[in-house]
Chains A and B, each alone.
Chain A
Amino acid sequence: MKKIGFFQLNSCSGCMFAVLSSTIFLDLLKSADIRLFRLISDVQTEDQFDVVFIEGGVTRNEEAALLRRLWTEGAKIITLGSCAVLGGIMSHSPNMHIDPVNKFVDPYATLPGCPPPQQLLGNLLMSAIDGIEFKLPEKNVCSECPFAQDQTYDVEITSLNALHPPKSCFLSEGILCLGPITRAGCGARCIKGATPCDGCLGALDRNLPSALANLFSVLKVSDSIREYAAIAFRYQKPELKFK
């Protein structure tokens, strides 16, 4: 039986609830030895893990030290959710500095998402038990979006929020949707729920601000949206080192 731990750093517990609501979780209880899961159990064993799931980003030295210790002890580190993988919504805070987990240790597998999509989460949990390699999809959200068919991008983008469910692609309706640059895997769940994609699974190949800057060179974006920097850093604030 694999020894599994669920660690929460600086986070909202959303990803842990996603794990709990996963249909695979019951199988996991049977087939693995869950040694640490503070959200549901008081039993606390902080060592000897085969696989650890990390939720949330790193702010303090103790947390970084914990990660390093787990890693050197030989645990496979799996990062769960946008905070652990990319830095998450807290990257915005002017008062604290948050880092993604991969700055300190090399994760065995990563799954972004806010919260991670159920389908991929199931695969990830299974891979933790069976050791099958977990792969993130390499396509973008458009590949799963029901409205992405022969979309045109010549409408000026003036809005960030949809007031009604889309009839066609959000971008064709003048609403900024980050679907084209965001990693697939969620099944376009937000778009189906009348909300444009905001890129919680992160961009493919590059960081989100660069991908967004590229996207802006195709779309006609109104000045007010172009100047609104927070869109680019919603889940990720990549450092830009100036010497």
Chain B
Amino acid sequence: MNVYAALAHPLREHILRILDAERLLPYKDLMKRLGLKKTGLFNYHLKKLEGFIEKRNGLYQLTAAGRNAIRLMITKEQLMVGETVDFQEPDSRGAIYRIGVIICTCGEELRQAINISDLVEKVTDLPYVERTRVFHHLCLLENVEKLKHWCERHFLNNLVIAACSPRLHKEMFATIREQLDVQIEFANIREHCARVHRKNPERATEKALLLIRASAAMLCHRIPIPKRTLPIRKSVAIIGGGLAGLEAAKVFAKTNHSVILLEKEPCLGGIARRWERIYGALDCGPCMIAEDVSSVILSGNTRILTNTELTNISGTIGNYEITATQLPRYVDLNKCTMCGVCAEICPHSCPDEYEYNLIQRKHIHLPCPAAYPNKPVINKRDIDFCLTCRKCEKACPSNAINLDQESEIKKFSVGAIILATGAEVCNPRTIIPLDSIVYNPTKDIISSYEFERILAPDGPTGGQILRQINGKPARSIIVLQCLNSINVCSGYCCNVAQKYIDVVENIAPEVSINILYDKSHIPPDRTTFIPEDNRIHFCETIKLIHRGRKRIIQTDVGSFPADLIVLNMGMIPGDQQLALRTITNFSLNSRGFLDTRSLSSGIWACGSVTRPETFEELVTESRNTALEVLLLLGRDSLPAGDMPILIAQEKCGLCNLCVELCPYNAISITADTIHIDTLKCEGCGACIAICPTGALSAAPIQDEVQAAINALSMGTTSPRILIFCCESCGYPAADNAGIRRLEYDPSAMVLRLPCTGCVDANFIITALNLGFDGVMVVGCHETACRFLDGIKKARIRIEALTHFYGEELQKRVRILNVSAVEGHVFATQVNQFAAELTELIGS
């Protein structure tokens, strides 16, 4: 490949020059441009240029060597005339830009303010602009086909649409974007130019040219982002086999999606399984659980794993990989025949945690009456003793017991995850004590959970309300309210108290029950409703006194006998929430429970894990969650976000700034790689402005904005003002000024950004250095920012710059809060700023 031989013939030199100017040309056009008639000669020269030009998709273009040859020729010429040689690097990405500019005159309206023919002439001279076309009404749908044809014929891969506001005909532009495989940028020459500068056509034309030039410059720095889709697995994992998990599983039981149900305990049912009656439902807890379990099992698409704890979640929406550890049960579920020999022979007993330690159980035991799976279990805590005994193993007639069983690690791939891990029972020893009333089950001061078991027909007392001291029936019950250790309303104890009134009335009408609230303990955020009832009392003081054998609670509203004192406990998020937070990241709501909005997309939560709920709330929430999951599973794939942010992992320094900044918690760093949840990302771009190393980049930011600032700075009028507008308030406000035809200074150039949060301080400095007299940042009102706090970030950056550069900068940089309809504020503020700047430059 000899460059001198290749350039020896003037025709070959000519070919290279034409290709350099046109970038892409088909065979015929190239031949025509050369003025050749015979293909033979043309082919000969093309062959000689092998290595310098290449044919791709039927189009001739320069190779890297060809571009170097061009540089050689240019340098030679420059040297010959005695110029100093200025080397220009080719585009680092080797991309080819063929930009088409479309100017819509909006039914001749724009001609009143802009000299269109003059504009077309000047636009065609812009770098990389190949073709310009004028439409009268671009917004007609039939034009899409015309545009497509036009782009294909002229091999245009970028399009600048100079027309009305891009917000006006969103659907139309979306169709263009979809049908034409081109990058599009807009120049708003109607609202931001023609309509607001009608009195000054000359400057309006110049401004229109600048806006188009900026859009073209932006396109030249755009990195096309490939469209991605995420496939979705048609399965779901439900973590937690309590009421909420089962309700959700019941919905899936009616579909064909496979479900994996993980339960930490040896049997399904959770806390609700222990309750005689569930508030808001007429049924008793165990019956409801049994009903749910049977419908889930009958469906046949649910795999239930008990004694199994979630240990890890990885992946993204549609493709989650979950890891779980199944603890040994020591009993083979298939072999066991439930003969009961093992429990009879077991020599050792310990307190039964299912009954809140009210009675004793054997080491090998049924987890609870009528459990699912209804097979015995040995707790892993007790296994050390059992390994020395092994009596049950030998006695089992069907050889179902294996005391040497090990934990098993299981892995599943699912499309979505539902967290229904529930809450935990508050420890009665941690509550604020009332007077001398301290939790002590042996003295008949019990917690509400123990009381639930006492009321339950399958409980230790068989449903009779017995005292723990002497085993005799209790005649009077006192329920104490608002005892949560944290001073927030549990949101559910009031309901529980009303349930107790109902239940006691039903099963033991002779027993008196009184509900006592200590007024000073009632939390300010209480939301539950307390009905008028002569058994519910609000007291100033509560005292426990003993009168002989009798125990009496004395208050300012009367004295009540108290055979049994029930401390009504709330629910707390508990340790399991901590464990869950180490597996998947989420934030907590004001009551310390899981905030569902903060979960990664593809992970849902329902039931008491989100807040303590009544039965109706829980069922509604669980079903809604299941339906939401079904909506996801109904699709085959998901588009991966609107404005995906490109990540250059090799540049990331893992400084965590973006993680901290992101208002939507969409960014996470795991195992030294940065990851953006594209479905949570709203595309405000604030992370790109903050990224110190440039590891994050996206379509309209950084290089593009710098290029646009550069292009806009080429104006000749003064004072030159650059206005950064956010897409949700600032830009619409500028549009609004256009719609209302409010005149403002034509030297103000509007640059659209997704959010003011991505106004990098460097943009402001660059703009000022490039000759702008003033910079304005126009965004939402601080309390109404579309991206939560974007405008606040911009304000902090400008304040910091003011501190660094002093008063002079303060006069040059302005921040403005507007809403989308405040066009008049926008116009007057711009005019005022322009006037101030004129005075400043003049002095």
Contacts and interface: CB of A to CB of B under 8 A. Distances in A.
Contacts of B771: 241, 243
B654 A229 contact: no
B603 interface: no
A210 B692 contact: no
A107 interface: no
Contacts of A118: none
Contact of B804 (A140, A215, A217, A229): A229
A32 B799 CA distance: 51
Given A204-B692, A211-B692, A214-B690, A143 B804 contact: no
Contact of A213 (B650, B657, B797): B797
B385 interface: no
A135 B170 CA distance: 45
Given A152-B660, A218-B657, A227-B803, 14 more contacts: A139-B693, A142-B654, A143-B655, A180-B657, A210-B760, A210-B764, A216-B796, A217-B792, A217-B794, A217-B797, A217-B800, A228-B803, A229-B803, A243-B773
Contacts of A213: 761, 796-798, 800-801, 804
Contacts of B773: 243
Contact of B761 (A179, A214, A227, A228): A214
Interface in A195-235: 203-207, 209-218, 226-229, 232-233
10 contacts: A139-B651, A148-B655, A152-B660, A182-B692, A210-B760, A210-B764, A214-B692, A216-B796, A229-B805, A240-B768
A148 B800 CA distance: 25
Contact of B661 (A210, A218, A239, A242): A218
A153 B769 contact: no
B407 interface: no
A47 interface: no
> What are the 3 A-B residue pairs with the smallest beta carbon separation, nearest first?
A213-B761, A143-B653, A142-B655
A138 interface: yes
A84 interface: no
B761 A180 contact: no
B841 interface: yes
Interface string B805-830: 11011001000000000000000000
A204 B762 contact: no
A218 to B, nearest CB: 5
Interface centre among A217, A229, A233 (most CB of B within 10 A): A217
A210 B801 contact: yes
B793 interface: yes
A216 B765 contact: no
A168 to B, nearest CB: 12
A196 B38 CA distance: 74
A83 interface: no
Contacts of B809: 240
Interface string B637-670: 0000000000000111111110011000000010
Contacts of A241: 768-769, 771
A103 B474 CA distance: 94
B604 to A, nearest CB: 26
Interface of A: 138-143, 148, 150-154, 179-182, 184, 203-207, 209-218, 226-229, 232-233, 238-243
Interface string B750-776: 000000000011101100110101000
Interface of B: 650-657, 660-661, 669, 689-690, 692-694, 760-762, 764-765, 768-769, 771, 773, 792-794, 796-801, 803-806, 808-809, 812, 841
Contacts of A210: 760-762, 764-765, 801
Interface centre among B771, B773, B800 (most CB of A within 10 A): B800
Contacts, number: 132
Contacts of B797: 213-214, 216-217
Nearest to A205: B694
Nearest to A154: B660
Contacts of A151: 655-656
A181 B653 CA distance: 10
Q: Is the interface of A mostly helix, strand, loop or mixed?
A: loop
A135 B465 CA distance: 81
A205 B692 contact: yes
Contacts of A140: 653, 655, 692-693
Contact of A204 (B694, B760, B800): B694
A172 B669 CA distance: 17
A99 to B, nearest CB: 15
A243 B718 CA distance: 11
Contact of A205 (B652, B693, B765, B792): B693
Contacts of B657: 153, 180, 215, 218
Contacts of A207: 762, 765
Contact of A142 (B650, B653, B792): B653
A201 to B, nearest CB: 12
A180 B804 contact: no
Nearest to B652: A139
Nearest to B765: A210
A206 B841 contact: no
Contacts of B693: 138-140, 204-205
A213 B841 CA distance: 26
Given A152-B660, A229-B804, A242 B760 contact: no
Interface centre among A140, A207, A211, A239 (most CB of B within 10 A): A140
A179 B841 CA distance: 39
Interface centre among A204, A211, A214 (most CB of B within 10 A): A214
A238 B690 contact: no
A228 B804 CA distance: 8
Contacts of A150: 656, 669
Given A240-B809, A243-B841, A232 B655 contact: no
Contacts of A154: 660
Contact of B690 (A218, A228, A242): A218
B785 to A, nearest CB: 13
B59 to A, nearest CB: 34
Given A152-B660, A216-B800, A209 B653 contact: no
Contact of A240 (B650, B669, B690, B765): B765
A215 B24 CA distance: 44
Nearest to A238: B765
Given A180-B653, A204-B694, A242 B660 contact: no
A217 B692 contact: no
Contacts of B806: 229
A94 B638 CA distance: 60
A41 to B, nearest CB: 35
Contacts of B796: 213, 216-217
A242 B812 contact: yes
A143 B654 CA distance: 6
A205 B796 CA distance: 20
A214 B689 contact: yes
A228 B800 CA distance: 10
A243 B809 CA distance: 12
Nearest to A149: B654
Interface centre among A216, A232, A239 (most CB of B within 10 A): A216
Given A181-B692, A211-B692, A217-B797, A232 B804 contact: yes
Contacts of B653: 139-143, 180, 184
Contacts of B661: 217-218
Contacts of A180: 653, 655, 657, 692
A224 B221 CA distance: 40
Given A138-B693, A218-B690, A212 B812 contact: no
Contacts of B799: 226
Contacts of A184: 653
Contacts of B804: 209, 212-213, 229, 232-233
Contacts of A153: 656-657, 660
A184 B650 CA distance: 13
Contacts of B660: 152-154, 218
A179 B655 CA distance: 8
A217 B765 CA distance: 16
Given A214-B689, A217-B797, A218-B661, A240 B805 contact: yes
A44 B790 CA distance: 59
